[in-house]
Amino acid sequence: MSKKTFPNKEGQRIPNVILHTRRDHDWMDLTSEDIFAGKTVIVFSLPGAFTPTCSSSHVPRFNQLAPVFKEHGVDEIICMSVNDAFVMNEWAANQKAENITFLPDGNGDFTDGMGLLVDKEDLGFGKRSWRYSMLVKDGVIEKQFIEPNVPGDPYGVSDADTMLDYIAPDAKRPLDVSIFTRPGCEYCAQAKDLLQQRGIAYEELVLNRDYTSRTLRAVAGIDSVPQVFINGDYVGGAESLAEWFANEDSSNT
């Protein structure tokens, strides 16, 4: 039996449906017109809220790159899934992805209209969305990235970086920064100030909340804080971070 071919709808209008959302304890129905008219919107759709790839990769990277997308004309980024409004709202709160709008396609009407409603009954999911992303301008689909129809949950073309490569291939990506700290640490505050002064977002890992001294010794070979990592490379403490920025500034002049 041949595999189902998912339709590419570039150049077509998005499905005309009503999505039942919930805001501030009240139901709010949004039409396709409400969501897309007069705007440039990125939509990425996925099999389910709280699922591993969606929570660890798909949502976080779109949220991280949202300011870059905005610089290049994107008005809104929407995460959609065939889940109800309560589930999507709880997932949004859990993800802390303030740059993304989470919309429930509870009945699967939008996803079905896209030709991407698939059977996930073998996992106990029922009907869900295939993973894809698209760029929509004033209700018309300009570009669509659909994951290949292979077993499992492929994740290779619907990601945020692939979309950014299409919209602005020369755009500068934000730095991936993590900093290990502890409460009341003066040098930790200095390191965070250095990052904030340059408008660099960072992930803060706090001692005995997010990690232990044993963890820090395992990854940095030292148990003093702060310890900063940038794009996977070990930088060091506050003084080392200042030197890192000085070297970056000199190399860019």
| Residue 19 vs residues 69, 89, 116, 136, 193: alpha-carbon distances, Å | 25, 14, 17, 17, 42
Beta bridge partners of 103: 80
CA distance 195 to 107: 44
CB atoms within 10 A of CB 76: 18
Beta bridge partners of 127: 119
In the block, tokens 């705007």 appear at: 39
Look up 188 and say whether it is catalytic: no
Opening angle at CA 93, ends 228 and 69, nearest 5? 65
Of residues 54, 79, 185, 188, which has the active-site annotation?
A: 54
| Residue 58 vs residues 78, 100, 105, 132, 216: alpha-carbon distances, Å | 12, 11, 18, 10, 27
In the block, tokens 């809104």 appear at: 76
Active site members: 54
